[in-house]
Structure 1
Amino acid sequence: MRTKAILSTTTLAASVALAAAAAPAQAAVGPITPSFAVDHATSAIRGHATAFAAGAGDTFASRGVLVDADGTSHVRFNRNYLGLPVIGGDVIAHLAKSGDLRDVTRSQAATLALSTTPTLNAARANRAAATALKGVPSGAATLAVDAIPGTPVLVWRTTVDTAHGQFHALVDAATGAVVDRWAEEQTIGGTGTGYNVGAVSLDTTQSGSTYQLKDPERGDTYTVDMNNKRFGKGTLFTDADNAWGTGTLSNRQTVAVDAQYGVAETWDFYLDTFGRRGIAGDGKGSYNRVHYGSGYNNASWSDSCFCMTYGDGDGNSYGPFASLDVAGHEMTHGVTSRTAGLVYSGESGGLNESMSDIFGTLVEFYSNNAKDPGDYLIGENIALNHEPLRFMDDPSKDSKSAKCWSSTVKNLDVHYSSGVGNHAFFLLAVGSGSHTVNGVTYNSPTCNGGTMSGIGNAAAGAIFYKALTTYMTSNTNYAAARTATLNAARDLYGTGSTQYNATAAAWSAVAVG
């Protein structure tokens, strides 16, 4: 059963029928605009109907545009069939910078061909839903096409009030059978006070008279209390007044606020910066497990549960591991597993860790949280003495990590071989020598005795993200990472550009040539 569905009609930015649509704008000169993308995506539906499973009875309405830094664009469309909204019929058109169609994402398997004349009237549909859910109808039933099952079906969309809250139900308009149902869920503006992030806003879910620490705006990401156990599913955090945590560790919700906020900020960072909707890029949320074990000094990502796990620390050297850069770090392991799939050993394992450190750092800068401002220190809020786990400007400051590549780097633990990639990123973003950022002073050496200037977090992050998601493979080593990032810099900024030359210089500065 669905856990959430949006039933209201979205305001339409543009609409097109297959039979008649406006011609697209000419090839863009300069930055790609949303209107340019919508025009060309609309034309693509008309010219490539089979790819969109589009038939003569369909109309499409754009409901969102994402334009990547390299000019590629992604346009989402809602679908109507003979005037009725199609549940599960939405599509995404992926366009090249030129406006040409590159790919289509859709769930609907085939062109729709069904009658839109119901056998059952609205009143009978409401009664059928109320009987099945043991409640009373609430509001008028409306017709729609449910394209999510294998065979699309004409349905009445109904709402039923029950003893357990309000539910939506889809009733087969021919047989009266309830084909799907789900609880009403609302995005609620909650507040929280975390241990590491302070006072923040949270999107939560109302369920009856209580609130759940579950975010319907970000794929239903949620947080559970493991109750200091290492096994089991944990308990979803709920609250009576939608005010979570107190900032003190005596309140079990406090660390949950840190974890939930960290995931929300990481989700928003990837979406706003790269157009990526969630870890797998499919809009589906992960979940957090906090209060894991007893005295557990670690945090982790697991592909098998699609979740993050946070220990509370031992209370002597370490406190809770839920913090902004750690959340970004762990979620990025998920992004890496869904893209390059870097094997977690040798140099590829060091790169895997490095990517997580890099994007965890960028999440911290993106969030601009007053209690945890952006820096190039990894996990600085975890140790009770605030000693970072790793230093990006000079990884060797921890006496374990490699700041320069050598043939022995592959033999190090991946958390220490990551230093080569971290150092290269810092040099690319900030530059060599002494710098002060957000009140923290850095002094980054080079391995070849040279000096270089940085190109900023945005450009450096764009290059590393494109390299990770487009050019790296499971066994990429540091030499191949140099090639991958140069390819990315070429695609984004051009061969010989300032950004391209700086990328080459950064790798040379860490002895990867």
Structure 2
Amino acid sequence: MKLPVYAATAFSAAISLALTFVPASGLGYHNGAVQIDVTESGGYYILSDPLRPGISCGINGTTPAKGPVGTTIGTGRRHDTVTACVDVLYGVQRMWDMLRDWLGRNGINGSGRGAPARIVTGTSVPGSTVDFPGSQSFPTQLDLVGHQYGHVVYQTTPGGAGAGNENGGINEGSADIFGTLTEWYANSHVDRPDYVIGEGSDLIGGGPLRHTYNPGLDGHPNCYSAQIPATEVHAASGPMRHWFYLLAEGSVPGGGKPSSPICAGGPASVTGIGLVKAGRVFMQSLLRKTSGWRYVHVRTASVMSAIELYGPADPACVTVKAAWDAVSVPAQPAEPACAPPPAR
């Protein structure tokens, strides 16, 4: 996905008429019948979120889309732009709530604000919006909305977006992690949660864009190597999303979840700590990010974060290290040690 350019400014839709905050019925192409939080004004539902500042969805611009009061917003058809906005608004509202409930973050940018989305039917000009370009279909599935807004989270944590392909790969992998977390939080019966990104997408002929549990299925590296800094950013994200799956679910999770490979020299197996706990470690790691972040720095930050959140004797500490070993990111001299678990 194209990395949106985001400026941390105060986004708001200027609506001068009397406002009423309401939940409204929407019909998305990817999510089906949903309830979304909108603003009621002048006989219209305005797709500007009254509860989550800065969140709105417009068509080829920042003016929010709208629909008549008392009707269902959107048609459910894949080419309809208002329908695409319904999917976006539903997805980012679930992501906002996930960040609050699971990860303890205040809004998309960490300061209680978000960014407006645009459904773009022509040329997308970089700006202060999160863009979803298309023509006959739009990339507005839950995990892709979480992915695109995940870039905003990444860019509004310390160090910003950074530069270089390795940093870009970490950014893309982080966005996929946020997309995955959003999909699991929403737990939609229409788009069941999983560990693939953009399944059912029309972008590459109906198949998933990326696999978290096995990036090799996409032709992307499962393991870190000296080639990563020269690898295209989506491919360079392979070790990042692979690490997260191993941390959350482990190498052989069972329960219908797919097994995940371990790179040469890694541990025989990895036992996951659970998705929410893994997400908390990951989010805390981003708060240690610098503009020059590389995979070895993410490893050290995540070990420190696991210890900070859960203590050195918690299984999270050992599993964070094991998951990095399993994707060939080596330990660093500054990496803190885990403590033995307490005797029973």
Task: List 4+ stretches of structure 1 deviating above 4 A.
Answer: none
Answer yes or no: is the 8 Å Cα contact 1:342–1:473 preserved in 2.
no
- Alignment-derived partner of residue 162 in structure 2: 343
- Alignment-derived partner of residue 94 in structure 2: 265
Mapped to 2, the partners of 1:250 and 1:432 lie a distance apart of 39
Mapped to 2, the partners of 1:3 and 1:477 lie a distance apart of 35
**2:196 aligned with 1:377:** yes
- Alignment-derived partner of residue 124 in structure 1: none
- Alignment-derived partner of residue 465 in structure 1: 283
- Alignment-derived partner of residue 217 in structure 1: 51
Provide the aligned C-alpha RMSD in A: 2.4
- Local SS of the residue matching 1:189: strand
Answer yes or no: is the 8 Å Cα contact 2:253–2:271 preserved in 1.
no
- Alignment-derived partner of residue 187 in structure 2: 368
Greater radius of gyration (CA):
1
Q: What letter corresponds to residue 445 of structure 1 in structure 2?
A: P
Answer yes or no: is the 8 Å Cα contact 1:344–1:352 preserved in 2.
no
- Alignment-derived partner of residue 274 in structure 2: 456
Q: 1:446 aligns with which of 262, 270, 275?
A: 262
Q: What letter corresponds to residue 240 of structure 1 in structure 2?
A: P
CA deviation after TM superposition for structure 1 residue 434, in Å: 6.1
- Local SS of the residue matching 2:56: strand
- Alignment-derived partner of residue 422 in structure 1: 241
Mapped to 1, the partners of 2:310 and 2:245 lie a distance apart of 19
Q: What letter corresponds to residue 189 of structure 1 in structure 2?
A: P
Q: What are the equivalent positions in structure 2 for 1:64-75 lying under 5 Å apart? A: none
Q: 1:275 to 1:369 in 2, by over 3 A?
A: same
Q: 2:307 aligns with which of 481, 490, 498?
A: 490
Answer yes or no: is the 8 Å Cα contact 1:425–1:460 preserved in 2.
yes
Answer yes or no: is the 8 Å Cα contact 2:58–2:117 preserved in 1.
yes
**2:56 aligned with 1:237:** no
Q: What are the equivalent positions in structure 2 for 1:177-256 lying under 5 Å apart? A: 183-226=17-60, 233=61, 235-241=63-69, 242-249=71-78, 251-256=80-85
- Local SS of the residue matching 2:102: helix
Which structure 2 segments of 5+ residues have no match? 1-10, 331-344
> Could you list the per-position Cα deviations for residues 446-470 of structure 1 after superposition, in whole angstroms to 9, with x for gaps in the alignment?
003521111110111110100012x
Mapped to 1, the partners of 2:12 and 2:63 lie a distance apart of 18
Answer yes or no: is the 8 Å Cα contact 2:295–2:329 preserved in 1.
yes
Mapped to 1, the partners of 2:95 and 2:51 lie a distance apart of 13
Q: 1:484 to 1:223 in 2, by over 3 A?
A: same
Q: What letter corresponds to residue 109 of structure 2 in structure 1?
A: A
- Alignment-derived partner of residue 312 in structure 1: 134
CA deviation after TM superposition for structure 1 residue 404, in Å: 0.4
Q: 1:250 to 1:425 in 2, by over 3 A?
A: closer
CA deviation after TM superposition for structure 1 residue 244, in Å: 0.5
**2:121 aligned with 1:292:** yes
- Alignment-derived partner of residue 395 in structure 1: 215
Answer yes or no: is the 8 Å Cα contact 2:17–2:42 preserved in 1.
no
CA deviation after TM superposition for structure 1 residue 476, in Å: 1.2
CA deviation after TM superposition for structure 1 residue 435, in Å: 3.4
> Could you list the per-position Cα deviations for residues 306-328 of structure 1 after superposition, in whole angstroms to 9, with x for gaps in the alignment?
x2111225x5xxx4211111111
Mapped to 2, the partners of 1:252 and 1:193 lie a distance apart of 12
Mapped to 1, the partners of 2:290 and 2:96 lie a distance apart of 23
Answer yes or no: is the 8 Å Cα contact 1:342–1:476 preserved in 2.
no
Identity of aligned residues (%): 35
Q: What are the equivalent positions in structure 2 for 1:3-14 lying under 5 Å apart? A: none
**2:295 aligned with 1:478:** yes
Q: 1:3 to 1:511 in 2, by over 3 A?
A: closer
**2:341 aligned with 1:508:** no
- Local SS of the residue matching 2:51: helix
CA deviation after TM superposition for structure 1 residue 436, in Å: 4.5
Q: As a proportion of its length, which structure holds more strand?
A: 1
Mapped to 1, the partners of 2:182 and 2:78 lie a distance apart of 24
CA deviation after TM superposition for structure 1 residue 442, in Å: 1.6
Mapped to 2, the partners of 1:474 and 1:292 lie a distance apart of 33
Answer yes or no: is the 8 Å Cα contact 1:342–1:351 preserved in 2.
no
Which structure 1 segments of 5+ residues have no match? 5-166, 168-181, 227-232
- Alignment-derived partner of residue 336 in structure 2: none
Q: What letter corresponds to residue 442 of structure 1 in structure 2?
A: P
Answer yes or no: is the 8 Å Cα contact 2:81–2:119 preserved in 1.
no
> Could you list the per-position Cα deviations for residues 34-83 of structure 1 after superposition, in whole angstroms to 9, with x for gaps in the alignment?
xxxxxxxxxxxxxxxxxxxxxxxxxxxxxxxxxxxxxxxxxxxxxxxxxx
> Could you list the per-position Cα deviations for residues 254-285 of structure 1 after superposition, in whole angstroms to 9, with x for gaps in the alignment?
11111111111111111222332222222223
Answer yes or no: is the 8 Å Cα contact 1:196–1:381 preserved in 2.
no
Mapped to 2, the partners of 1:481 and 1:234 lie a distance apart of 35
CA deviation after TM superposition for structure 1 residue 250, in Å: 5.2
CA deviation after TM superposition for structure 1 residue 477, in Å: 0.7
CA deviation after TM superposition for structure 1 residue 363, in Å: 0.5
> Could you list the per-position Cα deviations for residues 205-230 of structure 1 after superposition, in whole angstroms to 9, with x for gaps in the alignment?
1112222111111114111112xxxx
Answer yes or no: is the 8 Å Cα contact 1:344–1:414 preserved in 2.
no
Mapped to 1, the partners of 2:217 and 2:107 lie a distance apart of 34
